[in-house]
Structure 1
């Protein structure tokens, strides 16, 4: 057996405010893991941000490789309102599930139903009145764009960093076995981001996305944005220096937190 890729957490990388949940999911036909970052609070109905990871990763990478809680803490000190950060596994399907539905397992419903229920059931500061936001990087951005568009009654805002935009974009990141499996999705839109956004544009919640100039997905993101403009789909697209890296995502996830905070303040 050959191991081709590894994501390894650094030593002493977890903050004391982390909770890990393992949930049995009928949608996964098995167990899934969720990391939750929540500071002690007397508040109720605290809004939730779901952060979806990319290929090869799992629930811990946003924190232990991206130090997302440090970004959040710094912004809190500057006046950012309170959120609970929720980081689920994608379900562990080959090199990445794409957060897609399949006949054998529904990785989409795992996020939209089970992850949210697990957090509300276990974290007292959250409730079914908490607004829920969705964000992701790379494959996670792909998931955030698709799920945010498909479920406007669940999510109040969407943010995507360096997003995959269709199943063909996975080619440079996964092996043939994973790509072939992704192509078997039962998704009504064939896993295409623009088709999903366009078909649901009448109910689309606030949307932002960004990509680095040196990212291999920059061309695909630029094409998606041109399609959004042509279809008159409201969005914000930001271009930054940088590539497909944790350094980039650590720096620019602050844009996501600020975007969601502005939505909260407008309500």
Structure 2
């Protein structure tokens, strides 16, 4: 695998930011790795970080580089800070950055496929929210989306802001002072809109540990999918909000992805 850290200027954000990228590399001489080189533009997984992390965290806390070595896919891990992958009420337009500018820049830097069937998004915690938000706001762009212990019921999270990890002031800086429910920030609302329209959605995968403080919010989303008749691969089991759980579950996500030629 080739691992690249990119520092670049974002026109949307008006500042320099960064991403880590894993690219497929054919190799048989690296201990423990059997790299697979794809032909043509690479299928791509956009892998999103959580509230307290950055674009390096998946590399530092899991063996993601080793896990994808035999799959022939690229992994793009962007820096989003504490923005919730959202055009902030008082702050940067991170929603536009992650959905529009980042994919275009990444494809201009590297040979990445733009085809829907070759693009996937996944994330943990805040990144789980970001992954489902991207998939539900732009279903035509992704074949699959996965949330690991995601903050996916924002209405419930706002009542008790992310287990005290955010102040009410920070929350308002991101989403504004008004009610979340029924807005474009609300994944449950987006889900219902698609159910009404009969949209062809990406495949959805959701997991959460039963001891996680976000478990109830994850149950709400699962039940909403059931009610709306939207297919969802759902997994739960013992686990809290920590990297041992996510290191294990990202391997399940990679096994689940609908990669061509598998």
What range describes the TM-score normalised by the shorter chain of this pair? 0.7 to 0.9
1:43 alignment partner in structure 2: 39
For residue 140 of structure 2, give the secondary structure of its aligned residue in structure 1.
coil
Contact 1:209 1:238 in 2 (8 A): yes
Equivalent residue for 1:259, pick from 251, 256, 259: 256
Describe the shift of the 1:248–1:23 C-alpha distance in structure 2 as closer, same or farther (beyond 3 A). same
Describe the shift of the 1:67–1:211 C-alpha distance in structure 2 as closer, same or farther (beyond 3 A). same
1:133 alignment partner in structure 2: 120
Residue 82 in 1 paired to residue 72 in 2?
Answer: yes
1:117-266 correspondence runs (5 A)? 117-124=104-111, 126-129=112-115, 131-167=118-154, 168-169=156-157, 171=161, 172=163, 173-184=165-176, 189-201=183-195, 202-260=199-257, 262=258, 264-265=260-261
TM-superposed CA distance for 1:51, in Å, is 0.5
Task: Supply the distance in 1 between the matched residues of 2:134 and 2:24 (Cα, whole angstroms).
Answer: 27
More divergent stretch after superposition (44-53 vs 198-207):
198-207
TM-superposed CA distance for 1:265, in Å, is 4.7
Contact 2:153 2:220 in 1 (8 A): no
Task: Supply the distance in 2 between the matched residues of 1:240 and 1:70 (Cα, whole angstroms).
Answer: 25
For residue 6 of structure 2, give the secondary structure of its aligned residue in structure 1.
strand
With the length of structure 2 as denominator, give the TM-score of the two structures. 0.83
Q: Which runs of 5+ in 1 are unaligned?
A: 1-15
Q: Which runs of 5+ in 2 are unaligned?
A: 26-36
More relative contact order in 1 or in 2 (CA 8 Å, sep 6+)? Answer: 1
With the length of structure 1 as denominator, give the TM-score of the two structures. 0.82
For residue 5 of structure 2, give the secondary structure of its aligned residue in structure 1.
strand
RMSD value, Cα = 2.3
